[in-house]
Amino acid sequence: MRESVSIIGAGRVGRALARALREQGWRIGTVVTRSRRTARAAVRAIGGGTPSPSEWPKLFAADVILIALPDRTIESVARKLADVGAGLSRPAVARAKAGGVKPPLQGKTVLHTSGSLSHAILAPLRRRGAAIGAMHPMQTFGHGAATRLDGVVFGIDGDARAVRVAQQMVRALGGIPVRVRPERKVTYHLSGGFAAQHLLAVLEAGVRILMDAGLTRKQATQALLSMAQQTMDNLRRVGPQKAWTGPVPRGDYSTVGKHMRALRRFPPEYKQAYVALTRLAVRMLARNSRKMLRDLDGVLRPD
């Protein structure tokens, strides 16, 4: 049986997760954002939920509270949520003595979506009776772009009960839950940032180089996206070493030298990135990286 989930923060990540969960049968409860306008917009995008910029107590009606906010705000929001729960729990405790009513956070699960912070940032909520955890999708959420979650790895850490709930949510989304050691969350997040952000920058640099060669942006983008897609397919099919192509693995260092001379036409970051990425590729992929790096030393020298 699907549970209910309330959302704090409904930017790209929060909306995408909430919408996908709703489509899989989860009931969306209260959606809290900074203003009524943004809360209403989020509910429209999600296709469910009740917009509420300030009615924090209503969050406790759900089984799960998902905090989808920037890293810098999660700690303060966790403290506020704990304070709200504590304030509500005083009369609840009095009623409990008389007839048995649980405090608002007792038995709830609170998760955040940060990739670099562990579940420990939510510790004030654990002291109020909630199970705490984190579930981070290793995926990009571009502005206005449809986000695919099927087959996406989610890094998970937290209390045992929170981990079970996060795993249930991830599997409902078609994702792959993977446990991450809390002390390694920054390293885990670095991996995604290293690959996704730098890939985008490298592709855009390639597009601009092709435009300098006379192609239109549309032509250049299509050319490099096709090449990048084939590279990804090769990586998946035969692994990184066999997918590595170009003048360096062929030992064609004279072409590398021509590239270095051609890069004089561009801002210095282009050449710096070319040198650094060539060395990194050799370090990662060459069978005899030390010899290849020695052979490339004379070619990759900056002017």
The predicted structure's pLDDT at residue 99: 44
Residue 114: exposed, middle, or buried by beta-carbon count in 10 A (0-12, 13-18, 19+)? buried
The predicted structure's pLDDT at residue 3: 84
Say yes or no to pLDDT of 93 above 50: no
- CA torsion angle for 143, 30, 93, 105 (degrees, to 10)? -30
CATH architecture classification, 4-180: 3-Layer(aba) Sandwich (3.40)
Q: Is pLDDT larger for residue 263 or for residue 148?
A: 263
Say yes or no to pLDDT of 97 above 70: no
The predicted structure's pLDDT at residue 189: 95
The predicted structure's pLDDT at residue 205: 97
Q: Are strands 153-158 and 131-137 parallel, antiparallel or unpaired?
A: antiparallel
Residues 6+ apart with CB under 8 A from 273: 201, 202, 205
The predicted structure's pLDDT at residue 88: 65
Q: What is the pLDDT of residues 159-186, one digit of tens each?
A: 999 999 999 999 999 999 999 999 999 9
Amino acid at 54: S
Strand order in the sheet with 153-158: 50-51, 27-32, 4-8, 64-67, 109-112, 131-137, 153-158, 176-179
Interaxial angle between packed helices 253-262 and 289-297, expressed in degrees from 0 to 180 and rounded to the nearest 10: 50
- Give the tokens for residue 265: 């036409």
Q: How far apart are CA 204 and CA 198, in angstroms?
A: 10
- Give the tokens for residue 168: 């249930």
Q: Which residue has the tokens 């955040």?
A: 112
Q: What is the pLDDT of residues 47-62, one digit of tens each?
A: 999 998 877 888 999 9
Say yes or no to pLDDT of 157 above 70: yes
The confidence band for 1, taking pLDDT boundaries of 50, 70 and 90, is very low
Q: How far apart are CA 22 and CA 46, in angstroms?
A: 8
Q: What is the pLDDT of residues 63-76, one digit of tens each?
A: 999 999 999 999 99
Q: How far apart are CA 158 and CA 162, in angstroms?
A: 6
